[in-house]
Amino acid sequence: MVSIGLILNRNAVVNYLLVVGYLALLITTTVYEYINQGITQLVYFTSDSLGLLMLIAMTIVSIPAFYYGYRFIATRNDAPHARGLFFAAMVMLITSCCMAYLSNHIAVTWIFVEITTLSASVLIYHNRSMRALEGVWKYVFLCAISITFIYIGILFLSLSLKSAGVGEMSFKVLYENHHNLNVFWLKLAFLFIFTGFTAKMGLVPMYTAGIDAKDKAPAPAGALLASVLMNVGFVGIYRVYAIVAHTPLKGWANSVIIIVGLLSVFVAAVYMTRIKNIKRLFAYSGIEHMGLVVLGLAAGGVGVYAAILHIILHTFIKPTLFFQFNQIYTIYQSKSVYDLGNYFRYYKTGAFVVLLGFLSATAMPPSGLFVSEFMIFQSLFQSHYVVLLVVVLLLLTLIIWGFGVNIFKLLFTPTGQINEDKLPYISPWESLPQFVLLALSVYLAYNPPAEFVVLIQESVKLVQ
Amino acid sequence: MTDILLIALAMTLLYMSIADRLQTYLYILVLQGLILFGTTYLTLTDVSTLNLLLVLLETIVFKAIAVPWFMNYLIKRNKITRVTEPYLPNFVSLIIVTLIIVSTIILSGSIEDKNLDKTFFVVALSTLFTGLYLVVSRKKIISHVVGYLVIENGVFVLSLAIGNEMPMLLNLGIMLDIFASVLILGVFFNKIGDVIRDPDVNLLTNLKD
């Protein structure tokens, strides 16, 4: 409703009022769902612990996302229509992610995953350029194939249900009937659904479109694509994995996931050591973290807890870097590392954000990700994947090197390309939300509130 | 009768692998839509009349008329050259598609499940993989779209196999068809025509690392 209003209305003030109204609505919904935990609403939506965790994380990230979206639009001379469309697509993306988190039926999740593709493609095409067109074409085509894969997976899942004699496909019924499912069809179903969701989550077979999308979308939208949309993929994979984890297929599924996770980290390492586009660098860092998350999931034990913690902390850290990118771009008008440099001199506050964000994203203490990553390694060690662990650690070292070279070039190396007289002034206060997000990720990792831990433990129970 | 129609569908795939002109692709898509219409009518005996009508409408109006017509319009308006421009010679394509069909038959032979009609499974999977093959082996963006539509037809056949028990999934499949085609063709391909005169996939290769 709000998004339709945003499309139709061309007045700036009304647009911003609608967005603020939507944020209030989103926060109210989150609080309402938190109070009514575990209760099913509108038949297809249940606020279980996993969905709730993701919803809360998304609400926290969406507030700065709208703020930076507003800053982004304010600095450009877009047509009123384009501005309305931009906010409408953000509203639609966030709403459909929210529904996908909370849905208790695999078909409903699938429908909302479709809608996220639609709204994301509007955001990617915001710049109306040739490159943006290419990005959106690749994204739409790959996502169309990926949702077809998920659909085929759902068909196979229904075949495996047939032998159990159940005609209902909600996750709850699937969990309850896990011992009656036909193993062969379940295997195929898991393979197809997993492959399909990798396009959203950013794992190996279908990660490519997501990279172009995050590169081409305006940075505030890229921040959403790199965090909340990846969580949609994770929720989808996690819920299906929770079914498989109770069947004899668990070992097989784990090995599939480990291969995918390792390849994702490998791909991230290969690209991060050689690309020179700072925005794509951030996007590939997301691929690396998603690889680690699924490795934790497959290792089991404490790894599952760590995986959920990791993805939530990542939801706060990655948008920070994307939000900061807007300020970098304001100063340098470029995203190639060759044109960037000496950021500490031009915008000190932003440089601190980049430095802290870099430390956070590479999981160096005191980063929050250090805790979760350490737990993932611990779980890999405990489940006797020692060789895998060594390989992953080597790849991570490469990633830190590749990431670090580019980030330190941005921060410290002087560049001759910039006209120092015409530097735009950016208020230090503009970076405040980024510090808040980073601080939140550290706080949640080292001193987690009891409710937060309980929610994660409840979600872990789904697979164990 | 259903079997004959399904086998005819598999034969269109062979023809598609050697087709030289985009126009031929469109005719085959129309034919596939009609075949699916017939199959749907014969297969879905247990669903409610309203649902059956919906599915039939989707196959005939959407698959057989609207989409091919719209693609024809796009080809004319954007003055796309009429040759399909495959990367591989037609003979090789023919062999590959034949191999796809044979291997799905062998695969289905290894499945022991009385719940599933094997013909549906074989035709669906071979249509699916042929569609994927068309996507990777053709140069033009519009042939990629044709490949995607073939994939959708394959998925539709698969959903027919279980349509009687779970009509909801069938409706989902229709949603997928309409959603993806509208997204890919309608909103988007129009724009490509505006920005580039000759929608060749080679023009869209700048984004890489």
Q: Looking at the predicted structure, is the pLDDT value of residue A360 above 80?
A: yes
Query: In this structure, are residues A207 and A142 in contact, taking their beta carbons and an 8 Å threshold?
Result: no
CA distance B23 to chain A (A): 22
Instruction: Find the mean pLDDT for residues B183-204.
Output: 59
Looking at the complex, does the CB of residue A184 fall below 8 Å from at least one CB of chain B? yes
Strand, coil or helix: what is B140?
strand
Query: In this structure, are residues A209 and A145 in contact, taking their beta carbons and an 8 Å threshold?
Result: no
Per residue in A164-216, pLDDT (tens digit) is 777 778 888 888 888 888 888 899 899 999 999 999 999 988 898 889 999 99
Considering only CB atoms, A155 lies closest to which of B148, B159, B204, namely B159
- What whole-number distance in Å separates Cα of residue B147 and Cα of residue B25? 10
Q: Which amino acid is at A81?
A: H
> Which DSSP symbol is given to B63?
I
pLDDT given for residue A399 in this prediction: 95
> Cβ neighbours of residue B77 under 8 Å, at least 6 residues apart?
B193
Q: Specify the higher pLDDT residue, A5 or A22.
A: A22
Q: Which amino acid is at A183?
A: V
Q: Looking at the predicted structure, is the pLDDT value of residue A289 above 60?
A: yes
Q: Specify the higher pLDDT residue, B57 or A193.
A: A193
Closest chain B residue to A214 measured between Cα atoms?
A: B207
CB spacing of A141 vs B192 below 8 angstroms: no
Considering only CB atoms, B148 lies closest to which of A144, A275, A280, namely A144
Best mutation target, B118, B164, B207, B208, to test chain A (most A CBs within 10 A):
B207
Query: In this structure, are residues A232 and A265 in contact, taking their beta carbons and an 8 Å threshold?
Result: no
Chain A residues with beta carbon closer than 8 angstroms to that of B158: 152, 155
Instruction: Find the mean pLDDT for residues B56-71.
Output: 86
pLDDT given for residue B198 in this prediction: 52
Of A64, A121, A57, the closest CA to residue A92 belongs to A121
pLDDT given for residue A393 in this prediction: 95
A6 pLDDT band, cuts 50/70/90, is low
B45 pLDDT band, cuts 50/70/90, is confident
Q: Comparing A374-383, B3-12, B50-59, B93-102, which segment has the lowest mean pLDDT?
A: B50-59
pLDDT given for residue A32 in this prediction: 87
pLDDT given for residue A183 in this prediction: 86
Q: Comparing A101-115, A253-267, A309-323, which segment has the lowest mean pLDDT?
A: A101-115
Looking at the complex, does the CB of residue B163 fall below 8 Å from at least one CB of chain A? no
Q: Looking at the predicted structure, is the pLDDT value of residue A42 above 80?
A: no
Q: Looking at the predicted structure, is the pLDDT value of residue B196 above 60?
A: no
Looking at the complex, does the CB of residue A281 fall below 8 Å from at least one CB of chain B? no
Q: Looking at the predicted structure, is the pLDDT value of residue A147 above 60?
A: yes
Considering only CB atoms, B192 lies closest to which of A133, A135, A162, namely A133
Per residue in A218-231, pLDDT (tens digit) is 999 999 999 999 99
pLDDT given for residue A218 in this prediction: 92
CB spacing of B209 vs A275 below 8 angstroms: yes
CB spacing of B172 vs A130 below 8 angstroms: no
CB spacing of A137 vs B141 below 8 angstroms: yes
Query: Across the A/B interface, how many CB contacts are shorter than 8 Å?
Result: 98
- The interface predicted TM-score of the complex, written ipTM, equals 0.89
Burial label for A319, CB within 10 Å (0-12, 13-18, 19+), is: buried
CB spacing of A131 vs B196 below 8 angstroms: no
Residues 106-135 of A with CB under 8 A from B: 107, 110-111, 114, 117-118, 121, 125, 130-131, 133-135
CB spacing of B180 vs A148 below 8 angstroms: yes
CB spacing of A130 vs B206 below 8 angstroms: yes
Give the percent of chain B with pLDDT over 70.
86
CB spacing of B204 vs A137 below 8 angstroms: yes
- What whole-number distance in Å separates Cα of residue A155 and Cα of residue A149? 10
B87 pLDDT band, cuts 50/70/90, is confident
**Residues B106, B112, B117, CA angle at the centre, nearest 5°?**
80
The pair of three-digit structure tokens given for residue B142, joined into one six-digit string: 């519009």
Per residue in A7-32, pLDDT (tens digit) is 666 666 777 888 888 888 888 888 88
The number of CA neighbours under 13 Å toward the Cβ of A241 is 30
- Mean pLDDT (chain A) is 88
- What whole-number distance in Å separates Cα of residue A456 and Cα of residue A322? 26
The pair of three-digit structure tokens given for residue A258, joined into one six-digit string: 């480990």
- What whole-number distance in Å separates Cα of residue A9 and Cα of residue A302? 50
> Which DSSP symbol is given to B201?
G
Instruction: Find the mean pLDDT for residues B76-105.
Output: 86
Residues 170-209 of B with CB under 8 A from A: 172-173, 175-176, 179-180, 183-184, 188, 191-192, 195-196, 204-207, 209
Strand, coil or helix: what is B167?
helix
Q: Looking at the predicted structure, is the pLDDT value of residue A450 above 60?
A: yes
Instruction: Find the mean pLDDT for residues B72-94.
Output: 81
Considering only CB atoms, A155 lies closest to which of B158, B183, B195, namely B158
CA distance B155 to chain A (A): 7
Query: In this structure, are residues A189 and A249 in contact, taking their beta carbons and an 8 Å threshold?
Result: no
pLDDT given for residue A16 in this prediction: 81
pLDDT given for residue B67 in this prediction: 86
Q: Comparing A25-39, A392-406, B78-92, B173-187, which segment has the lowest mean pLDDT?
A: B173-187
Instruction: Find the mean pLDDT for residues A305-329.
Output: 93
Residues 58-87 of B with CB under 8 A from A: none
pLDDT given for residue A128 in this prediction: 79
B181 pLDDT band, cuts 50/70/90, is confident
CB spacing of A140 vs B166 below 8 angstroms: no
Q: Which amino acid is at A448?
A: P
Best mutation target, B117, B133, B174, B209, to test chain A (most A CBs within 10 A):
B209
Instruction: Find the mean pLDDT for residues A118-125.
Output: 88
pLDDT given for residue A344 in this prediction: 87
Q: Looking at the predicted structure, is the pLDDT value of residue A243 above 60?
A: yes
pTM comes to 0.92
Residues 212-231 of A with CB under 8 A from B: 212, 215-216
CB spacing of A121 vs B188 below 8 angstroms: yes
pLDDT given for residue A2 in this prediction: 56
CA distance A275 to chain B (A): 6
pLDDT given for residue B94 in this prediction: 92
CB spacing of B207 vs A162 below 8 angstroms: no
